[in-house]
Each structure stands twice: as structure tokens, then as C-alpha cells.
Structure 1
């Protein structure tokens, strides 16, 4: 069973804010092969206070009274936080055993490394949702990258760390569309409490995406990274030599080189092999969460 810590900027249930971190959390909770040992919160989708409050509400909704939930730093000026201390301490207690899934700014990870210089070496792997390799465009609307760019100094430190690092970029996540077919599946199963809960959270977000981007659905960004943890075989993986500078990461841009000697090795999957199977795994896994 995989031990996982989830570092996220969850805003599920917050008006006009993304639901993907919350959906990723539900995915982790529904996996019998995942032992979720803690959730740490960071900024990105919104302020740290909004993220933490939204996550407290979600924990209350799901009855997660025994799962550690820690509040992270609110910005880059002072990265000290209970989240960073928890990350450093827990990784040191379980060397080589913990996979860290991080789907917001990487501030907590950077501070954990500052607390314990061996932090990255203690982790089994780090799986990120973040970065872009080309412009991110939805129906003619160009989007900013919103994870690495929140704290580019932290992002650079994580990407070039000694840990095995995989990042699911915004570009591959554009393949992870949750559309009318998937929404209809949730509606068909809404007699089950967890699907009713999900539907209540999804419908306002779908309406927002229709208004903003003309989409009949949404992109399931962070759940893509969560699914990589359990089903890496559903992705065409790619070992990339990343040479991004801190300035590059201010826009989340992953600059790549053909020469291994030039930069640092990062796994950057480029394709979801079977999007139907991808979505079906997510839908079925959500159903295993008890409410």
C-alpha cells in the first residue's frame, strides 16, 4: 500500500474556484491501494485562509476526523508553517516510503527542505501538477500557469531536487476533460451519497466553465496527477532534461534540453493513453468513498 501525503490548494465548494483538488482528494480516499497519511494546504487557487477553510469544511463533510490536516504558509515572504514542519518530520520518520502529491504552490515543500536538507532524499517520489511546455489555450483563451508560477523559487528547488520528480503539466491535463458523458454518469448514480455530494460541487463549476470558456465540462487538472500515482501505465511517460531558470518558472515554463548534462531529469508524461479508461477509473474510485 502506497503511503501518500497530499499538499494542495483545495477550493472545492468556493464560488468560482476550481474543484479539482477536492476531486483528487476524493480519488485518494477511494483507493484501497493508497494510505493517505496527511493533507497539507498551500496557496494557489486562492489565499491560504480560503484554502484551509474550504478543506476543513470538506473534512467535516466527509467525517475525516482522524486524518491530519495542516495549514501552510500564505506566501513567499515567510514560508514557515505547520505544514512544512509536518512534511519534514513525517518524511524523516518514513524514509523511502512516502509519495508526495503536490498540486498547488510548492512553498511547503521548499520550507520542509529548509528545515531538513535531507527532506527530498527521504521521499519515495514527488508527483506534481504544474508547469507548461507550450502556451495553455482553452477555446482561444490563453491561461496563466497557476502552480509553479506562485512560488518559482520553490518550484525550481523541487524540480532539481534529488527526489524522483514527475510533473503532470497543464498541457497533458487538457486531455483530461470531464464532459457531458462523465457528468451524466455521476447523475445516474446520485442516489449514492458520495455522488450526490460530488454533483452538488460540480454543477456550479460546470456552469462557470460554460460561461467563461464555452465548455460543457471542465478539465480535471489535479485528479490527473492523483491518477498517475496509481496508474502510471495509463500515461506515455517521458524523461525530460529541464533547464528552466527561476525566471522561466515565473510563468511556469518548463524549458527542455537534449543534453542530460545541461539540467535536471524530470518525468514529464505527454499523453493519456486511454481517456475512457482514465475517466472510468476516477468515477468508480469516487464511489468507494463513504459518507
Structure 2
């Protein structure tokens, strides 16, 4: 029986000046066996919803997966949040089976709970990309946390009340560095891989200018991989204690109630990166 998942994301793949990691995470998820993506929910983070939603609709068409529905979230009222309504509907349909992957702000998940206070109890697992446990620094440049801090009230509620949580923090994602040289090999692959290279190379070039890095960090893929391929990671249980002050900066260590979550740590970085690269290859074979 296939695993049922929904990806909630702030996909800005191919948007000038914006990260490509959500798009890569969607492609990665689609390449995994025994996995059914019931839908894509869109939220804000990398950019505003007016950019993220139509971009994601176009992206799914570009990769040949327009059959997977895309839902628009909101920034304010749960009553008008089509993404949250979809989450509630799927949680009821696949109670105990459905897992969620949150790659942007957690507004839609919070709104789903507002619509149905039993929502969290119906979810098998929630894997998130966001939060920090210490300052996030790349080549002596400090980065601000985004996904949890951008709607910290929603993030705090999910972190304090959702059940089985996996959190790919910004810090742990620094282990998953995808080099420019590795990415350049896509040019030698399938038609899809060539397309992926042409569409994504702008981000490698942008990151190199800012951080002087010969590659990028695959932030969002780690949250997907930790849920779907846990054998690639150490089952690293960590106590977190976010509060209303700490979460404004995405900090998971504060003065709030303590709970244990899984913060996955990559077992073997070389194997992990190779696994991701092969997933891109596999997607190109499946969706020719």
C-alpha cells in the first residue's frame, strides 16, 4: 500500500532571486517508490502567495504532473483557506495513514487545526523544514531563520501540539551540500535532467555570488527524505522548548514546555547526495 503524503510548500522554483529547494523536494518525492502525493498546498515564505501559488501550478505542469491538485493557502482567515480545508478533508479520508511535509510557513497546518481541533490526532507524522538550535552561519555569513519565524504563532502551535514531529532544522541541513560540479552532470543526462539544469542553474550562480559557495544546500529535500527514507539518517531525538519569544527568531530552544522530536542527522553524506542525484535521474526516467 502506497504512503499517502501532502506537501505544504512555498515553491519558488525558477522565480528570479528565490530558492529552488521546494521544487527539488517535490521532484524528489515524486521519484520515491510506494508514495502517493495527494496534493500540493501552497503557503508563503520564499515569496508571497500571489507568486507561490501560480508558480507551483505552472511548475507541476512543467514537470508533467498537472494531475496532482494544487491548493492555495491564505495569510489570515482559516475560513477562506482552501489548502487548510483540503488538509482536513484528506486527514478524515486517510485517518492514521496521512503524513504531512511542511516546507514553508506553517499557516495552513495551523488553520487546519482551527477548522478541526482533532486534526493533529489524525495525522501519521509531520516532517518539517525549519527552525534552528543555534546560530545559522554559512561561510561567516549569518542567516536568519525563515519558515517558523515568518508566522511564529502558527509554528509555535504546531510545535507544541502536533504529534509525531520530524524537524529538519537549518543547522542539520548544512550537512547536505550539493556541489556545483555534481549538479553540472545533469547536463549529460535525460531531457528532463537537461531541463532541470537550465531552470535551476540561476540559483547556484546567485548563491555563489552571495556566499562564495560552489554549491547549494538542499534544505527542503532533507525533510522529505527523513520521512520517506529514514534509513539514510540517525534517529536523533532532541528536546526542544520553543516559546513566544524564541520562535520569533525560529529558535527551538527557549523557555517553553519541553518535548522530544526527531531532528534527523545524515548517516553518510556522500551516500545521501548520491541518493538525491539518482532520484533526479529516476524522475527523468518515469516522467519522460
TM normalised by structure 1 equals: 0.93
Q: 1:107 and 1:262 mapped to 2: Cα distance?
A: 21
- Contact (CA 8 Å) 1:19, 1:201: kept in 2 or not? no
Q: 1:110 and 1:150 mapped to 2: Cα distance?
A: 13
Q: 2:254 and 2:247 mapped to 1: Cα distance?
A: 12
Residue of 219, 225, 235 corresponding to 1:227: 225
Q: 1:142 and 1:162 mapped to 2: Cα distance?
A: 30
Q: 2:155 and 2:261 mapped to 1: Cα distance?
A: 12
- Contact (CA 8 Å) 2:180, 2:216: kept in 1 or not? no
1:266 counterpart residue number:
261
- Contact (CA 8 Å) 1:132, 1:170: kept in 2 or not? yes
1:121 counterpart residue number:
121
Bigger Cα displacement from structure 2, 134-143 vs 280-289: 280-289
Q: 1:209 and 1:162 mapped to 2: Cα distance?
A: 34
Deviations along 1:221-264, whole A, 9 cap, x unmatched? 0011111122212222222222110221110001168xxx9522
Q: 2:251 and 2:177 mapped to 1: Cα distance?
A: 22
Bigger Cα displacement from structure 2, 241-250 vs 132-141: 241-250
Residue of 266, 269, 277 corresponding to 1:283: 277
Q: 2:133 and 2:194 mapped to 1: Cα distance?
A: 36
Within-5 A mapping of 1:31-70: 31-70=32-71
SS of corresponding position for 2:24 = helix
- RMSD over aligned Cα, in angstroms? 1.5
Deviations along 1:258-281, whole A, 9 cap, x unmatched? xxx952222122x21111111111
Bigger Cα displacement from structure 2, 2-11 vs 279-288: 279-288
CA deviation after TM superposition for structure 1 residue 199, in Å: 0.2
Deviations along 1:51-108, whole A, 9 cap, x unmatched? 11210110121232321110011x2x43441000000111111101011000000000
SS of corresponding position for 2:249 = coil
TM normalised by structure 2 equals: 0.94
2:147 counterpart residue number:
147
1:241 counterpart residue number:
239
Structure 1: which 5+ residue stretches go unaligned? Answer: none
Q: 1:230 and 1:215 mapped to 2: Cα distance?
A: 29
2:103 counterpart residue number:
103
Residue of 250, 253, 265 corresponding to 1:252: 250
Deviations along 1:9-54, whole A, 9 cap, x unmatched? 0000001100000000001111122111110000000001111121
Q: 1:274 and 1:48 mapped to 2: Cα distance?
A: 36
- Contact (CA 8 Å) 1:165, 1:267: kept in 2 or not? yes
Structure 2: which 5+ residue stretches go unaligned? Answer: none
Aligned length: 283
